[in-house]
Homo-oligomer: A and B are copies of this chain.
């Protein structure tokens, strides 16, 4: 490819604490390679490509690019716009190629989950069919940690560290005030996967420590069992601290929350989750007759840069960097994976997996990480997640005493095509 070949970087889906660190890895590696012209940002992911809403990341200051490592969420901009099959979304897919051609884009670096890997794979195939030379590389990103072929996903370690810390801290609050506020429920994200909920097991070192009960979507949930579990813990400790995944399901695999369907589905076709904490609170107050309260960290759990895992920040960067190196070495159509070395000492290298394989896979919390009662994790789970949360990542504290984050200047690229969308 010629030296004029440009690269595009896009971010997709729910933000994470470290997706910008991956972007930083892509951008810095691409800029220093000498083999890539401009590094272009697609404002709000694939939407930015479709709308030809692009900006010149190469023109941003080096300080701003470096500060991506310490900035949560998705600084280039994300979206939940989903491209379906090539037949169903034909106009969109062709538009992507048109925009790539118009801006001489030969490298497409896409950070996201299954759906994004699917999109990257389809764009790649379409380009090949059209004889347009294009390299599509995926970078894993999801707090849910549900991508197959990778030991874990960048973004997960930081949310794991944060929610475990929140469980430890709010657990001390419940321990202090159990005479009135006997039960606390911490609702966490993770959709159909219980990885985030399971990580809070790191806080439970002794039986007294929170969380006392951890409910994950992988273990069939029943309110009868909840009531028995809660009564047992309260009898023993006088209090109970519960962690509940947002996507708990009953033995039929149906979401337990009445409002799972109420707000319809999100743009990716996923059911909108929420309300688990409220429902558990109501049942516990009614059936166990103790006061219950809930904490719902919401988007704060996936944006908690102020207590991110340094391991995560560094691995996320490495994934971005590796995507560029691999692309320049001729690799195409792959997502970078994280490969954990065998043995007691934690070491992590990168690997590669086919975009289509990742798109079709899903990784749930395995049975051996969940206790027999289905209400807590095993030590095997703790062994899995412990190395991931090590180290504290730096943030820049501003004059107001709170962290400050970067924001791109966004020098827009002139549009070359008629409008689409």
Cβ proximity bits A176-219 to B, threshold 8 Å, 1 near / 0 not: 11011100101000000000000000110100100000000000
Asked if residues B166 and A300 are in contact (CB atoms below 8 Å), the reply is: yes
Docked Cα-Cα span, A390 to B382, in Å, equals 34
**Residue A295 lies at the interface, judged by CB distance under 8 Å to chain B:** yes
Docked Cα-Cα span, A283 to B173, in Å, equals 32
Q: Which of B180, B304, B407 contacts A267 (CB 8 A)?
A: B180
CB distance from A396 to the nearest CB of B (A): 11
**Residue A321 lies at the interface, judged by CB distance under 8 Å to chain B:** no
Asked if residues A405 and B172 are in contact (CB atoms below 8 Å), the reply is: yes
Given A165-B402, A400-B382, A402-B389, A298–B293 Cβ distance below 8 Å?
A: yes
Docked Cα-Cα span, A148 to B306, in Å, equals 32
Cβ proximity bits A406-421 to B, threshold 8 Å, 1 near / 0 not: 0100000000000000
Given A293-B299, A300-B295, A403–B169 Cβ distance below 8 Å?
A: yes
Cβ proximity bits A256-296 to B, threshold 8 Å, 1 near / 0 not: 00000000001100000010000000000000000001111
**Residue A75 lies at the interface, judged by CB distance under 8 Å to chain B:** yes
**Residue A328 lies at the interface, judged by CB distance under 8 Å to chain B:** no
Asked if residues A173 and B299 are in contact (CB atoms below 8 Å), the reply is: yes
Docked Cα-Cα span, A179 to B296, in Å, equals 23
Docked Cα-Cα span, A166 to B295, in Å, equals 14
Q: Which of B166, B205, B274 contacts A400 (CB 8 A)?
A: B205
**Chain B residue at smallest Cβ distance from A307:** B306
Interface size on A, residues (CB 8 A): 72
**Residue A15 lies at the interface, judged by CB distance under 8 Å to chain B:** yes
Given A295-B299, A300-B166, A300-B170, A176–B11 Cβ distance below 8 Å?
A: yes
Docked Cα-Cα span, A391 to B161, in Å, equals 22
Cβ proximity bits A293-324 to B, threshold 8 Å, 1 near / 0 not: 11111111011111101000000000000000
Docked Cα-Cα span, A266 to B179, in Å, equals 12
Docked Cα-Cα span, A307 to B393, in Å, equals 13
Asked if residues B294 and A77 are in contact (CB atoms below 8 Å), the reply is: no
Given A78-B176, A179-B44, A402-B389, A297–B299 Cβ distance below 8 Å?
A: no
Cβ proximity bits A373-393 to B, threshold 8 Å, 1 near / 0 not: 000000000100010111110
**Residue A164 lies at the interface, judged by CB distance under 8 Å to chain B:** yes
Given A202-B401, A401-B161, A15–B173 Cβ distance below 8 Å?
A: yes
Docked Cα-Cα span, A299 to B175, in Å, equals 12
29 contacts between A and B (CB under 8 A): A15-B172, A15-B177, A47-B179, A71-B172, A72-B169, A72-B173, A73-B177, A75-B176, A77-B176, A79-B177, A79-B180, A165-B402, A168-B402, A168-B405, A169-B305, A169-B403, A170-B303, A172-B303, A173-B299, A174-B299, A184-B298, A186-B300, A205-B398, A294-B298, A295-B298, A295-B299, A306-B307, A382-B400, A389-B402
Other 16 A-B pairs with CB < 8 A, given A164-B401, A168-B403: A15-B173, A72-B169, A74-B176, A75-B176, A78-B177, A169-B300, A173-B299, A203-B400, A274-B293, A293-B299, A294-B296, A307-B307, A309-B401, A386-B399, A386-B400, A389-B400
